[in-house]
Chains A and B, each alone.
Chain A
């Protein structure tokens, strides 16, 4: 079928027709192959075009010279000529917009408003993005009480974990009569897998400084500390630079911006102790003592650093302050849920496609974070649980994925908001092992002051180790629950008060896994080494020798192309054989 629409005619289709008929005759094919002229085919740009039936082969941009080859190849030998066929242009996938990408589209940046946009080591770039305008507003247009009212009305709550209303905290310090007063920024982020605060400081250190300056105006504090862990060298360097630059501009020091505020900030390095999440421990460490909590009251607002009235807020809390002052309490409180306003920054890690830093409005569901933003679970595995709140938090199972995140909702299901670590776990994660891991961390991090915490966590950890080793007893679950309650009741600070959470929440939602470990001596996820054995499926094994070559213990024997065997007495259950096998012939049970 030769197209004889105007387009192809002017491209010389009749010459093609002649050449074609001639060539067909030459090969005596004129009776077998009919040349039909058709109307416009519609693809004029590629003309002259031809369609060969019945195969529907589409030829384009034909010339007379192509015809002998075409006839010989296609009609005589039955091989369509590839180079004359139409190939659709390689599909140009347009680069998507940021808002169309799940990871970015669902985020809303307040604390992280300048991330990736400014050079954190240039104060002018911060100023270019509207930096320090909130400070000017606070110094020139607002009285301290108005600032506190705005923060109160915004509904901002402590982002370090406990969720105490920030405005109320400020109010207490403002009301204290004694001077000097101190402000502290807690940058001692201690949860494993959490890096929200580090990232905020690294990308936008001035947002924290400005927040603290506004806090100084509101509370009457004259001195600020950033208590930052030693493990964050880049964040510390950037913070030091930011403070120097702010001082040079007169944004720190005496008579800030010529408006009479006196306030300066210095940096205190912490050794990265988890217990410093507790305010009174942090104060002790800041003063050079060992970080042990003390009884409250008196609260830091009455007696904090050097026994002076002190207000401690977390990095993310401070970073929110300038935006609240600039855009107003009403704007901020319009975002989020009934009890939890604004956004929350999470570090999403673990068994999830997109790991990274995520800022979403309060009330976003776990499902949205794990699947829409996080991109789901890699390697087509199933989701099992998400751990929020770090070692003090809990594991939330799949059937609660639609839980909207806020302080209260997370507490209702046995976890906590915490500082925002979010660890995603897949089906290959053993929940008893997870509880054991967190208790091991907490056992090391307990400061040792309270017996219940120091000894209790150790005993709980011992029981979990025993269960993972296959030596669990029928009564273990009940003993764990009883110990958990005792530790919660008898610990002074939140470390002990929340330490049993990882155990309690895993017992609550994954009790069957505990029971499998204890009663059946088996680890359903195939993690606990004492309870698993690796075997080779005789049907599936092709005898490729890959596993035996990779086994560090030389525990696998078998000739090439014959079924291999694992010598259980040599096997250390490292799982390398399973990882390297291409035929899924290594089984774990």
Chain B
């Protein structure tokens, strides 16, 4: 069964996330980021940040809710039983700090098929309250046996 490419270009409603210092600490603890700048406001300010700063991979916390409707969209048609997260790219901009409000918008950038596998590529862009881009992300899901 060929993949349905009609959803290419489709955009989804943006999702807003308010960043808090305790969430940054919880995330930093879970992934083993031990730096003071992720926990202590004075240390973060001394290093030139507005407030406690998130590790780069904190992007998953504020952007996944914007991706979910795209990945779950019946028009995209992903078969979850055989889906794997195939690849990921993040390009970082302004650092994300406690007190920031991050808005993320997701879209479908490509759907293709090769060797019986479906490749579903999504892009998301996140900006802060000043309109500065904080991350641009490319999410690739692979589905076997399309």
A, B: real partners: no
